[in-house]
Structure formats: C-alpha cells, structure tokens
Amino acid sequence: MERRTIGAGALAVGAVGLGCMPMSWAYSTSRQRGEESLRAVHRALDLGSTLLDTADMYGPFTNELLLGRVLKERRSEAFVSTKVGLLVGDQHIVANGRPGYVRRACDASLRRLQTDVIDLYQLHRADPEVPVEETWGAMAELVQAGKVRALGLCAVGARSARRPGARLHDATVRQLERVQQVFPVSAVEAELSVWSPEALETLLPWCESRGVGFLAAMPLGNGFLSGTLTPGGGFEADDLRARHPRFTAEMMAANQPLVVGLRRVARRHGEHVTPAQVALAWVLSRGRQVIPVPGAKRERWVSENAAAVDLRLTEHDLEELARLPAAQGSWD
C-alpha cells in the first residue's frame, strides 16, 4: 500500500488506516464479535493499513485489550494511535486532563496494548478545568520518557464546542496554536468526508502549512456514504446513529442524492468499485498528509477500504463530487 507520513518526524503509515472503535463501542453491540474483529485487524496489517486507531474509552478499555492481542504478535508491523482525556461513566462522559491522570492512563494503555511505546498519543478532549498547556506538557513528558513517539489532538468533538456563528474548527485552531508552543503537534484527527467537508476551511490548511498529519475520522459518514444503509431500517438502541439527527429515516432519504452521486462515479471506474471507495478516494485526494481512518470490524470492509488507495479519481470525477448537494439535517 502507498505510504504517507505523519508530522515532522516523518512517521510512515499506510495511506488508509483502520478505525477500531466499531469493534467495541458506539455501534450495535449485538454485532460485535471479538474473533471476527481480530481477523479484521490482522487483515488490515496484511494489506498495509498499518495505522490502528483506538482510545482507552472505547469499551471502555476493551478495544485496547483486543488490539493488544494482535500487537503481541505483530507489533513491528503496526502504527498504534490511542487517546487519553475522556472518562466513561454510567450514562455520561467527562474530560480529565490532569497531568497525574494522563501519566497513569498512559501506563494503563501500554499494559492493555501489550507494547512498550505508543506511536501517536492523542488528546481526546481538552478538560475545561485544566489549562490545555498543562495536559499537553504531561503528554510531552511521556515522549521524553520514551513511552510515546508523537503527540496528536483529536478534534472530532468540535461541533459540540462551537460558538454560535463561528466556523467549525476555529476553536480547535486556537487550541492547536496554544499547545504547539509547548511541544510539536504531529497529527490532528477530525471529521472529513464528502458530506462533512468543514475541515477544508481552516483546519486542514493549518495542518498543511505546518507539516502536521491529518487523520480523517468518519470518512464514510458513519456508514451512510457506503450506500449500505436503508432509510427507515432503524438502528439498535445502543447504536449512536439511533439518536443522531442525520440518521432519521427522513434525513437519510433526503441525503440519498449523495450516495447516488458516489455510485455514479464508481460505475465509471468498474463494476466492482463501490461508493465507499469513491468516498475514501475523495478524502485521499485532499492532500498527501491526509490519512482516512474508516471504522470497520469485518475483513470484507477492511479489504474494500484498503483497495480505495488504488482508485484514482479524475478531474471530472472531482468536479462532479463537488457539485453534489450539501447534506441536509443537523449534524450536531
């Protein structure tokens, strides 16, 4: 697989990563099967999708434990990204950026992942009660101690923190400017897809100008852009999409033109090309520092996602995708 680099340290990873969250968190529990997920991770490494993206809160903790079973055998083939800063309670999630907690959480992640070093340690959310510089300073100490290779900031929660009238990632950029004064940012993880392109406004240009890697979260729009979800099909109660405004039957039907457009482009490239692959190829075309991290828990989807690296969209394709209607429905 094509390789791309993260940050000034030029950490090399496969151009398409693997988001491991669906294996243990946020999506239908009844469809989560540990052995099937293990096979999916092994398949990703076989195909060169070396970036494995997880977090201590996924499960919580069970996602890191699952990855640890693979890393015990294949650590040298993987690039491990995990996150710190969120605690999961009963029906609530809270931020914790206290330096002492960060140090303890890192040691716990290392144990669960069965590794001596984390390749990319990301701040999942800033703690409003702790200056972000203090949290980042504690994370920098972990690099100096040899427990972490590089630091990143996760901006997936930017929507909930946006001020009225502000662009989506204005607050994230301000936060990045602050932590950059403490220790270099190697990567930013934020949502980017055909139906959620806001990162193109300010966040991606910020990364480009500073040589910072960009991990594109939810590049398939939580599965919608794959064209495999049926409007009105419903979701299990524990599936985050069951409560999501853009996944009501009405909004899924209203946004079908996006899937139709992806499918139309896919057909031009061959009968076996899928809308999901076109959506990933669009993300890959946003720049050499962009690495889409689609979530998957089955070998089939891992293989399909990895194959998107070989799909080269033409200028005509990109122009057609740019003309697709904006997604309808709130995303907040």
Catalytic residue among 27, 58, 101, 121: 58
Distance CA 297, CA 170 (A): 33
Under a CB-based contact definition with an 8 Å cutoff, are residues 114 and 76 in contact?
A: no
Residue 76 corresponds to which tokens in the numbers above? 């040298």
The values of phi and psi at residue 47, to 5°, are: -90, -5
- In a 13 Å sphere around the CA of 274, the CA atoms on its Cβ side amount to 19
From residue 235, give the alpha-carbon distance in Å to each of 229, 276, 313: 10, 20, 33
How many CB atoms are located within 10 Å of the residue 237 CB?
9
Under a CB-based contact definition with an 8 Å cutoff, are residues 294 and 280 in contact?
A: yes
> Annotated catalytic, 58?
yes
320, amino acid identity: E
Place of tokens 């897809």: 193
Closest CA to 281 of 320, 308, 321, 304: 308
Under a CB-based contact definition with an 8 Å cutoff, are residues 120 and 213 in contact?
A: no
Classify residue 146 by burial, with Cβ atoms within 10 Å: 0-12, 13-18, 19+. Answer: exposed
Under a CB-based contact definition with an 8 Å cutoff, are residues 148 and 121 in contact?
A: yes
| Residues that are catalytic | 58
